[in-house]
Amino acid sequence: MLLVFWLFTALLSIFPTHTQIELSPSGLSDPLPLLKLLFTVVASIVFGLENIPKPNRPSLTRPNISKSIQPNPSPKPYANLFSRFTFVWVLPLLNKGKKNTLRMDDIWSLHPSMLSYPLLLSTQARIDADEAVARQKTQDLAESKSAGPGTGESASRVMAYKIRLFSILVYTIGWAYVSAAIPCLLFTIATYIRPILLSNLIAFMASYTKANTDKGVEPQPAWQGYGLMLGVLTTSVLSGLFLAQYENICFQCSIRARGMFNSLIYRKALRLSSTSKQEGMGSIVNHMSSDVDNVLELFVLIHTLWSSIIGVVIALVLLYQHVGYAMFASLGVTFGIAVAGGLISSMTGKAYSQMATKNDQRMKLVNELMDHIKSVKLYAWERYFVRHLSEARIKQLNALRRFNIIISIQVALFNVTVPLSSFAMLTVYSYIAPPNAPLDLQRIITCIILLNMLGGPLSNIMNSISSVISGHVSYVRLRNFFKSEEINPANVERLSDDESSIAYKMKNGTFGWYSPEAITEMEVKREKEAKEAKETETVDAERSDGRKEGP
């Protein structure tokens, strides 16, 4: 709280200090303005001293929670507000990496909130609770309908269908992900305040030109120019800091969600029935790699989409204030390109679905080949499998090439959006501009800046179309995987955790790749081959000696 107090004290004392200096006839020679200035300087110095990290700084924790002792704890829990906001707490590690090569011992321990095992336990407890509720409902339904045999199998299927992927994701990263909306909104506001300040700064500079002086226009006060320059600098710095905080929160949420997804996929793979295992290990690997990444990117894009829409609305309002109805010319061009992009986006989803299917087929062939490599080598089936793998790879490459061609067309459409919109808008405004608001330098620069800033949200929206489509396809694939049939729990024998009980016992066992008879035959064959090789060497040596004794 002292940090916030000294910060606002230093900032709010700037304005009365400036007023006292301006109103005082002798300026800083008067003691009251001088004391005001000294108070502002001292408050700024105290705020800077409060940001210096202090050793053994206590952190706020709940009284009923014990701290976990880590060998090399992270300084983030003990960092103050502004150290976290500006990432100053990472500087010691960066300085150490600048001087020497970092080793694993130099890296801080992972924050307890980012550990995967506690997250797995909480998520698994939530899923087990949902499954218990589903099991109870199934049993109640079976009793009410007097179901016959096979109730256990239907119960297991119902339990698999009760796993809700979206609710588990919200349970894992829900509140943390929602909190990312605050820095995202502040970043959008700070970004679009900048062109307004730049427009006023250009008007301030234009007030000192000879043309305005000849017209009798008085120049604006100099302190307004300094204030506008400081405002542009402040908004640029704040937008970068807000963007960094937003990306940091999204990155932490993605790490937690990835750990949760991989744990659930691994847990589900161990419980699949024989029928569900026919998909092969390749599809499970794709679920843990590409599908999880696409789903996480889909959820991260939610904040990007609504912030981009707000950015587009703000940019259009500012453009309307500068060019009026000429703004609709750029909207027409943008709308036409968006319609073309929407038509192409439907093809993108089909292309990505085909690419994922071909990838699963190839991975399935590779896993089958690796599982039965001995039989393949024994019967000399290498050419057969090489041909099939080559055909599957060619089909996958064709699907990937088609997907990339569609994405390239979408990127090309986006790249021409801003130039065509600028040309159409400025051309129309040059014809309809009123005499009191001509197409001057200030208007042109402001409109170009706004259109370039409009390109960022449009880029996010255009790029998110393909990401949303691929993420939706991956989400459906994961949902179908989690809905797969599982092993009937009644057919699984679970032993007790008693250490005295013997889980499995084997007496006088022999382990090996071959039987004892086969090993004996191989040794006899090896001795016979060695004897024949020795006899062959003896015959060759006698022949060489006979050639040397000849003429």
List of residues 6+ apart from 461 with CB closer than 8 A: 305, 308, 309, 312
Residue 457 contacts residue 413 (beta carbons within 8 Å): no
Q: What is the band of 123 on the pLDDT scale with cuts at 50, 70, 90?
A: confident
| Residue 2 structure tokens | 């002292």
Predicted pLDDT of residue 547: 53
Taking the C-alpha atoms of residue 479 and residue 473, their distance in angstroms, rounded to an integer, is 10
Q: What is the band of 153 on the pLDDT scale with cuts at 50, 70, 90?
A: very low
Query: CB atoms < 10 A from the CB of 18, how many?
Result: 16
What 8-state DSSP symbol labels residue 53? -
pLDDT digits (tens, 9 = 90+) for 289-309: 778 888 888 777 888 888 888
Among 130-139, 147-156, 401-410, 507-516, whose mean pLDDT is lowest? 147-156
Residue 113: enclosing H or E segment and its boundaries? none
Percent of the chain, pLDDT > 90?
A: 0
Q: What is the band of 515 on the pLDDT scale with cuts at 50, 70, 90?
A: low
Predicted pLDDT of residue 448: 80
Among 155-169, 400-414, 512-526, top mean pLDDT goes to 400-414
pLDDT digits (tens, 9 = 90+) for 223-271: 788 888 888 888 888 888 898 888 888 888 888 888 888 888 887 888 7
Predicted pLDDT of residue 2: 62
Predicted pLDDT of residue 155: 44
Residue 272, SS3 per DSSP: strand
Of 91 and 11, the structure prediction assigns the larger pLDDT to 91
Percent of the chain, pLDDT > 70?
A: 79
Predicted confidence (pLDDT) at residue 172 exceeds the cutoff of 80: no
pLDDT digits (tens, 9 = 90+) for 380-395: 888 888 888 888 888 8
pLDDT digits (tens, 9 = 90+) for 359-380: 878 888 888 888 888 888 888 8
Rounded to the nearest 10 degrees, the angle between the axes of helix 31-50 and helix 2-12 is: 150
pLDDT (mean) for 439-452: 78
Mean model confidence pLDDT for the chain: 76
Predicted pLDDT of residue 551: 46
Predicted pLDDT of residue 513: 61
Predicted pLDDT of residue 40: 78
List of residues 6+ apart from 496 with CB closer than 8 A: none
Task: Please identify which residue in the block is written with the tokens 């696409």.
Answer: 294
Predicted confidence (pLDDT) at residue 490 exceeds the cutoff of 60: yes
pLDDT digits (tens, 9 = 90+) for 89-122: 888 888 888 888 888 888 887 777 777 777 777 7
Residue 195 contacts residue 453 (beta carbons within 8 Å): yes
Q: What is the band of 539 on the pLDDT scale with cuts at 50, 70, 90?
A: low
Predicted pLDDT of residue 469: 77
